[in-house]
Amino acid sequence: MTEQQASDSQSMKPLAGITVIDMSRILAGPWAGQVLADLGATVLKIERPEVGDDTRHWGPPYLKDRDGNDTKDAAYFFSANRGKQSLCLDITQPEGQQKIRELVANADVLIENYKVGGLKKYALDYESLKAVNPALVYCSITGFGQTGPYAKRAGYDFMIQAMGGLMSITGEPDSAGGMPTKVGVAVTDIFTGLYSVIGIQAALHERQRTGLGKHVDMALLDCSAAILANQASNYLIGDVVPGRMGNAHPNIVPYQVFASADGHLIIAVGNDGQFANLCQVLGQPELAEQVEYQTNAARVGSREVLCNLLQETLSTRTTAEWLQALEAVNVPCGPINTVDQVFEDPQILARDMLQTVEHPVAGEIKLAASPIQFVGEKKGEVSAPPVLGQ
């Protein structure tokens, strides 16, 4: 391999040469398409003429042009569509349907999130497009999947967070005046998008052996159940139905938010050694020797008494003072940053998680970057989310 070939190989992204037709809208499907674009795929976003993706209108806030005036594109749209191209097609018309078939003939992946059976009347369903391109990987994203008693229902992240159990374990307990609470971002949409990428890549890998594509069937409710993780196991293995515990952890103590003299901080003790170090910093080394606190299992059983003792001491000094002292002895801890503080954090900046890109209407805009990094390689440039029909 020549030096130039080595340089070209290093600069080429892993999915370069893969073409994706993104017929999805809102978040789960577009998130999947965005991740594929980040990895080098050519992603063509199909949008309704004059209207486009629903999220172009989910404002305020809206993107401002170079003169400071609101454009027609809401900020929401920019979270899930970087690196794509936009093509306006009316798939309810024969011309639009034929154009999709022409694109599919040379594409590798199609992503859609229409209701089950919704594309069949346009002959744009998997079976119809499989006849056009047997190697096509076709990913359908719905609320409940292609099968089952709920398959025909529409599904949105908020309702799936409720139905999938996430809200039953999020929020303060009833005893503290709490109520079931959704996560602050649409996590079931995002996780479904990420799982979709995994399924798509697996199907592309298998295609190398078989020459044939697959129909990837992704459901928000399935993904919501899957990401219950240890809480699912607490029930399935331990026969304990988890409830809402606010910021506390069901299996680890102390692992929660504590108030300081000027705000709050997170302490996330994961083992007995860290707990002993915490007690040393707090000036209460004897706590780590008491039988009711010596092990994590004992601390879980003595959660309320122990956390009240810790809170009394933690409220005497500022967050910054505690963080400095705890970090010095390797006790996991951290501040509760606001979103503006996140994108000013030196670690976030050092990891290139904030990118500046050129937008044809607004000029330079800032975007959150892909978190996927490859050692020894710089993050490649990414294009701004497209204007409608770009």
Q: What is the DSSP string of 85-102?
A: EEEE--TTSHHHHHHHHH
Structure tokens at 253: 């103590």
Q: What are phi and psi of 137, to 5 degrees?
A: -95, 115
- Point out the residues that are catalytic: 189
Q: Specify the DSSP class assigned to residue 77.
A: G
Other residues' Cβ atoms within 10 Å of the Cβ of residue 196: 27
Spatial neighbors of 289 by CB under 8 A, at least 6 apart, are: none
Q: Give the helix/strand (H/E) hosting 127.
A: helix 126-132
Strands (E), 180-254: 215-219
Q: What is the DSSP string of 226-245?
A: HTTHHHHHHHHTT-------
Spatial neighbors of 72 by CB under 8 A, at least 6 apart, are: 56, 57, 62, 388
Q: Which of 204, 186, 213 is nearest to 29 (CA)?
A: 186
What type of residue is 322?
W
Q: What are phi and psi of 211, to 5 degrees?
A: 80, 0
Decide: 196 and 188 in contact? Cβ < 8 Å: no
Q: Are strands 333-335 and 264-268 parallel, antiparallel or unpaired?
A: antiparallel
Cα four-point dihedral sign 41, 156, 368, 88: positive
